[in-house]
Amino acid sequence: MKAKSMVLLLIVCVMLPTALSAAVVDLSLGATAQYNQTLGDIKQEIDADSWDGMGDFKNYTLGADLRVKLLIAEVDVVGTFGSYTDASSIEYTEISTLTTAGISMDLLGIARLGFGLGPRWIVRMNNDTGDFTIFDETGAPQTIDSLGETFINSPVAYRATVDFNLGNIMLGLNYTLDTEYTFNNAAEVDKLFSANIDEGKVGVSLLFSIF
């Protein structure tokens, strides 16, 4: 019991100065680019000393990044627009929106660390037919009757961010990892922790602090 109390006290001692020194409200908006290959693929490219994939603009998904921070709590909304090819070689235009809630801590005014999780809503448009399709957490197409149903069937994802403060501009890296957990199957909490860390994707963001 004493050890647990010491750990709790240590956490409070670390978090309290961070919360008191942070701005009460911080709103940032900017652009983001995500590399379409997974972390595992990047490791293989590095081991093979091959950088062709990273140098190809087609391998990146572009979008917007909005962050609202209240003390150490933060809500992120990331929208991306890119391409997707399924196992049958059918090409889609993919629109993805990830909304996460979590914590964000400033380190000596130099850097900011953030971590959150939330649902990632994905819709894909078939480039040949123009039909829009919603996909579940396994990538299977679904017939959805309402917008609310798309939300509870969307996979929950983790997002970690490391940003460096350059005045009113922040430049940083982010890492997004999808899980197989959905709010539709809320009892299957184990799926939140079974995701393969190498299946996540790396991105960069350039943010402008509005206030």
pLDDT, averaged across the chain? 82
33: confidence class by pLDDT, cuts 50, 70, 90: very high
The pLDDT of residue 1 is above 70: no
The predicted-structure confidence for 99-146, as pLDDT tens digits, reads as follows 999 999 888 888 999 999 999 888 888 888 887 777 655 666 666 565
The pLDDT of residue 52 is above 80: no
12 or 206, greater pLDDT? 206
pLDDT at 28: 93
pLDDT at 74: 95
The pLDDT of residue 54 is above 50: yes
How crowded is the C-beta side of 122, counted as CA atoms within 13 Å?
23
Give first-to-last CA distance, the chain, whole Å.
43
Summarize the confidence of residues 83-96 as an average pLDDT: 82
The predicted-structure confidence for 152-189, as pLDDT tens digits, reads as follows 778 899 999 999 998 889 999 999 999 989 888 888 88
Q: What is the pTM of this model?
A: 0.79
13: confidence class by pLDDT, cuts 50, 70, 90: very low
pLDDT at 143: 60
Domains by residue range for the chain, with CATH: 24-209 (2.40.160.20)
Beta bridge partners of 34: 61, 203
pLDDT at 16: 46
